[in-house]
Amino acid sequence: MRFGRLELLHILLAVVVLTFAFAVVLTSSTAAQLGLSYLDAFGYSIGISFLIVLTGFLLHELAHKFVAQRNGAWAEFRVYPFGLILALAFAFFGFVFAAPGAVYIQGNITRRQNGIISISGPLMNLALGAIFLAFWFVMPSSSIFAFILRWIGTINLLLAAFNLIPIPPLDGSKVIRWNVPIFVLVFAITIVLLLIGLGIIAV
């Protein structure tokens, strides 16, 4: 993949802001689940949040970029300044607005190529979510690693489901315009795994 210098700066900024935002949201539940003080829980949450951002956000965007470049398009990540502000503001109300930016794509691409580029991000989240939940499933439930794996897996699936909502400018709107059966299949699998991660479906 080819990266611009400005793009790398934007990626770093987005990762730092999102990591802090997720850590703020996760600290209370981490303290309760692991029996830690708030300060210790925040330290743990920074580490967990970095893994969430690395997998759920960064690899999602890099999947878009990789597939776009493979299809001959120009593709670079740019932050939305307002998106960064919203991520920080919402975090203190217990919610992460995980849309600090996006991969901008330019080039003469077909509807099919656009659909494939668009679905690559949610598919990355879906694959990672499934892998993390699979490891969580075989871990002792009292293990701290089980707690971390479940959080990372579930948030990846939540991000996949959100991005697959078929409303512009979300990925789902371009995927459904390209291929409805593929959209339905991927969305259905994502929702089922998400419900498992949330504990709504018992396995």
Contact 30, 91 (CB under 8 A): no
167: which 2 tokens?
């409303």
* Nearest CA-CA partner of 44 in 29, 60, 59: 29
- The residue from 61, 153, 156, 172 that is catalytic is 61
The rounded distance, in Å, linking the Cα atoms of 74 and 201 is 41
Q: What is the DSSP letter of 98?
A: -
Torsion of CA 115, 63, 54, 131, to 10 degrees: 80
The residues near 61 (Cβ < 8 Å, ≥ 6 apart) are: 11, 77, 101, 102, 103, 121
Give strand pairing partners of 78: 102
> Does residue 107 sit in helix, strand or coil?
coil
Within 10 Å of residue 81's Cβ, how many Cβ atoms? 11
Selection from 136, 156, 137, 18 nearest residue 88 by Cα: 18
Q: Is 61 a catalytic residue?
A: yes
Q: So which residues are the catalytic ones?
A: 61
